[in-house]
Amino acid sequence: METLNAIISQLSQAYDDAGPFRVIIPLAIPVVAWLARKPLAGLVVRLFKATAKGMQLTISEKIEKAVQPGIQVLVVAIGALIALEILHLPDPYSGIIENILVSACVAAVFITIYDLCEILPEWFGRTGHDRITGQSTFVVRIAHFVVVFIGIAAILKVWNIDVGPVLTGMGLAGAAVALAAQDYLKNLIAGFNNAFERRFREGDWIKVEGLIEGTVESVDLRSTKVRRFDSAPVYVPNSDLANAALVNFTRCAHRRIYWKISLTYTSSIDALRTIREGIEQYIDDSGYFVSPDLASRYVRIDSFNDSSIDMLVLCFCQSNVWADYLQAKEELVLSIKSIVAGAGGGFAFPSRSIYMEASPAGEPAASTHPERDQFKSGDHPQSRGRSESGDRSEAGDPSNGQ
């Protein structure tokens, strides 16, 4: 700062000694700043990149292009401020123009910081803050909000507007706004909880029973974007995810296979043992599955079922990647099919046996419609009623002369 003041003093002295050419110096400084804005912006970006490299961070080309306009505005505004100090314009013009230029400098600084917020998730990851790395969108949004708020407060301070009374007045209005926006605030706080509890991160496969199942794509201030497996995006309020029992399949160390294999009752004891030993041998040798020392593994003849003898197969895959899990299951199915066929066994399926009894000799075969046979030859209840009624009429009719 002292160096800058010394430069301004020397330029002011040169301006006073320039005589009729004194107007050239105040005009030349902004022009030089305008012409030097791009080289100086490139120099600042290179310094940023060198600093970031020392912190093991990467500044992408997109961020480079984003921060350069703010740096260029800062260079031009500083040049204009130096020219203004040399001119010694009378008040109030000098104060107004100075406030405008200082506001431009402050805005340029905070715009640059706003764009640099994009590297925060990577920086947190380098420093071991895994809680934040997986919530990159959410963290960047919060950082943007903080930078904008502080930037506006700084610009107001340049114009001698006290931020304290403004915040006090906003507090009264904020209470009313909070009541109206309590759902938004609830989701915002839930988003913080999800971020710092590390319930999930972007790219995780999650499931909330009765609500959603899919892959987390982004976490925003109010909602979380989850891509279902049919490619449809679903925007779930953060509070729904914070208050629900959530299953994170990506965090599974291993994926489990739990099958009941149904074998026929005609399979011999030797065949059952051969099948069991063959499946165990395949699980040990295939390389797809975790060894019994690290996770449970059972292949056992388990129970008698209505139509089968059931064999339990329980094991865990080495990988928790869905594609690898599917491949391991496919290979296991094909191997079990081959092992069962090689052992002379067979797979059972639900069935029911019906036994037909033969009629004794000399007796008619049982009718398939006994209710129809019951009403043959006038045995129908209505027929019997009519017959009995007719007999009574003949016996008790006075016209018969009895």
- Which range has the top average pLDDT, 7-11, 128-132, 212-216? 212-216
How is residue 351 written in tokens? Answer: 């069935």
Q: How does pLDDT run across 309-344, given as a tens digit for each residue?
A: 999 999 999 988 889 999 999 999 999 999 999 999
Q: In angstroms, rounded to a whole number, what is the distance separating the alpha carbons of residues 75 and 38?
A: 9
Rg (the chain; Cα; Å): 43
- Coil, helix or strand at residue 305: coil
Listed in order, the ranges of the chain carrying CATH 2.30.30.60 are 190-249
Report the pLDDT value the prediction gives residue 347, as an integer from 0 to 100. Answer: 94
Task: Answer yes or no: is pLDDT of 374 > 50.
Answer: no
381 vs 61, higher pLDDT: 61
Q: What's the pLDDT score for residue 93?
A: 73
In the sheet that 223-227 helps form, which strands lie side by side, from edge to edge? 233-237, 223-227, 212-219, 205-208, 246-248
Of 181, 296, 278, 193, which Cα lies nearest the Cα of 239? 193
Residue 72 has pLDDT above 80, yes or no: yes
Residue 302: is its pLDDT beyond 90?
A: yes
Question: pLDDT tens, 216-248?
Answer: 998 888 899 999 999 999 999 999 999 999 999
Compare 315 and 66 and report the one with higher pLDDT: 315
Mean pLDDT, range 110-114, rounded to an integer: 89
Question: If you search the block for the tokens 């049982």, which residue do you land on?
Answer: 366
Q: Are strands 212-219 and 256-263 parallel, antiparallel or unpaired?
A: unpaired
In this prediction, residue 91 carries a pLDDT of: 72
Is the pLDDT at 393 greater than 50? The verdict is no
Q: Structure pTM?
A: 0.53
In this predicted structure, what is the pLDDT of residue 8?
60
Name the phi and psi angles at 19, rounded to 5. Answer: 65, -130
Of 106, 99, 102, 88, which is closest to residue 147 (Cα–Cα)?
Answer: 106
94: tokens are: 């000098």
| Domain 256-342 in CATH 3.30.70.100 | yes
Q: Which CATH class name applies to 190-249?
A: mainly beta
Which stretch of 124-138, 183-197, 375-389 has the lowest confidence by average pLDDT? Answer: 375-389
Residue length of the chain: 402
- Sequence ranges of the chain with CATH classification 3.30.70.100: 256-342
What is the rounded average pLDDT of the residues 255-268?
A: 94
Distance CA 139, CA 141 (A): 5
| Bridge partner residues of 3 (DSSP) | none
